[in-house]
Structure 1
Amino acid sequence: MGTCSEFAVFKVSKENIARVITLSESLFLEINALDKVIVFHEILQKTDNPEEICWHLIWSSEESVKLTAQKWTTFPSSKALESLVDEKRYYGHFIPLI
């Protein structure tokens, strides 16, 4: 089973960006606490809109994404993180073609 890439784009007010980054890093650690399912991550900022940030996550498998989504509300950082996101602009998963 191959990896799965996730792209999630959020609008976050400038005053909350640092906190969202901290909570994102905490969330990734919480998700990986029992089993390392996020094998790589980046938190990116859009070049022409500093209030738009993006998660680029590489998951160990498409199945690990589905299982983690079912546990989303159990992660301590998820609720605080969501409260600081003004808008979820895009969310998608991709698998390698080649």
Structure 2
Amino acid sequence: MSHCSEFAIFKVSKKNIPRVIALSLLIIQEINASEKVVIAHEILQKTDQEEELCWHLTWVNQEAVALIAKKWSSFPSSKELESLVGEKLYYGHFIRM
């Protein structure tokens, strides 16, 4: 089974960036609490637009992505995280060819 890479790009006001980064790291811990399904992660900031942040997550497989998507609203940090994100610009999953 092939790993799955997720890219999520969103706008966050400058004042909320530190909290969004902290919540991003926390929610990855929450996702992995019962089983490690996110095996690598990066939280990136666009070089020419600092209000754009990107999650680059590496999942164990596509099935894990689907399972966690169903559980998303049950994670303690998800509601606050979503309230601080201004606009979701891109969200997609990719597998190696």
Smaller-chain TM-score bracket: over 0.9
Partner of 1:80: 80
Q: Structure 2: any 5+ residue segments left out of the alignment? A: none
TM-score (norm 2): 0.99
Q: Structure 1: any 5+ residue segments left out of the alignment? A: none
TM-score (norm 1): 0.98
Q: Distance in 2 between matches of 1:96 and 1:18?
A: 32
Question: Between the two proteins, what is the percent identity of the paired residues?
Answer: 65
Q: Deviations over 1:20-51 (max 9, x none)?
A: 00000000000000000000000000010000
CA-CA distance at 1:4 after TM superposition: 0.1
Q: Distance in 2 between matches of 1:68 and 1:2?
A: 17
- Number of positions where the alignment pairs a residue of Structure 1 with one of Structure 2: 97
Partner of 1:69: 69
Please tell me the root mean square deviation across aligned C-alpha atoms, in Å.
0.3
Q: Distance in 2 between matches of 1:7 and 1:94?
A: 8
List 4+ stretches of structure 1 deviating above 6 A: none
